Structure 1
């Protein structure tokens, strides 16, 4: 399983076997069951999670009780509440599992230590953080600029195969549209 993390890291930097063992020693293997919370709103966020297998979502509930999905994390994605993780504050997001999931967790302390010890890993995490920032910006722009059909098509690009793994009600929540609108969009697909 740890080979997935190594392959993921080596998309950006190359590591020797010794370097990778050192990197891996900063992570903790964690398994979660379907529907299990990884983070609950109001919890202090201790870890960032690399998804080895499974499917997780981060989400929030507004004042009217409506759930809003911020992110789906499939294999080789990272998930946490970034603001709470980096600031070591209470979470404003929930993270739970849509499938049984296996992860590698890293604490902020271990991440900072690893970045201090290995310039390669500092570079890796900087690139991943930048990519996450860009993805968040693109998601915001899609929500304010795209119509429902364009958001649906963008979702298909970002998450190939996700539609077969996630209930349509959650897809609709992620897109900011009604379940009925999503049904119309999916019925128009060839």
Structure 2
């Protein structure tokens, strides 16, 4: 599992064996079954998760109980309720496993130790955060300016594997369309 993390980090920068041993020592391993919640709305978000295998969805449930899917997280992705994680407040979103999932977990304390103890990791996390911020802005722009067909095509082009791994009702929710509209778009 940790080898996958090393490969992921080394896509951005190389690490010596000693550096990676230092990095790996800050993570713990967790396994979750399909339908389990690593994070529940209203509870603590103690970790940011690096997905080794499996698939998760980050959701917000509004006051009426409607679920809004903010993102999916698959292998080599990082996910948490970032506001709750970094500010040590209660989660406003839930993270749920859509498949059996294995993750490497990093606490905020260990994140800070990694960044202060190894400048390469501070640079790595900055690059990951910047990429995530760009992706979030692109998703918002897509929801504001693209029609349903364009959003569907963008998602299919960027993440074709999601279409084999995620129920159509969840894809429809993520795209902001009904299940029937998604069926028309995909035919």
Please give the alpha-carbon distance, in whole angstroms, between the structure 2 residues aligned to 1:117 and 1:30: 24
- Tell me the residue number matched to 1:17: 17
Q: CA deviation at 1:157?
A: 2.4
Q: Could you list the runs of 5+ residues in structure 2 that have no partner in the other structure? A: none
> May I ask how many residue pairs the two structures share in their alignment?
187
Q: CA deviation at 1:67?
A: 0.8
Give secondary structure in 1 for the equivalent of 2:58.
strand
Q: CA deviation at 1:153?
A: 1.0
Q: Could you list the runs of 5+ residues in structure 1 that have no partner in the other structure? A: none
1:112 aligns with 2:89: no
- Tell me the residue number matched to 2:29: 29
- Tell me the residue number matched to 1:128: 128
Q: CA deviation at 1:62?
A: 1.7
Q: Give me the CA root mean square deviation.
A: 0.7
Q: CA deviation at 1:63?
A: 2.4
Q: CA deviation at 1:41?
A: 0.3
- Written as runs of structure 1 = structure 2, the 5 A alignment for 1:1-190 is 1-187=1-187
Please give the alpha-carbon distance, in whole angstroms, between the structure 1 residues aligned to 2:65 and 2:157: 30
TM-score (norm 1): 0.97
Q: CA deviation at 1:155?
A: 1.0
> 1:59-105 deviations in whole A, cap 9, x for unaligned?
01122221110010010001100111111111000001000000000
TM-score (norm 2): 0.98
Please give the alpha-carbon distance, in whole angstroms, between the structure 1 residues aligned to 2:158 and 2:25: 31
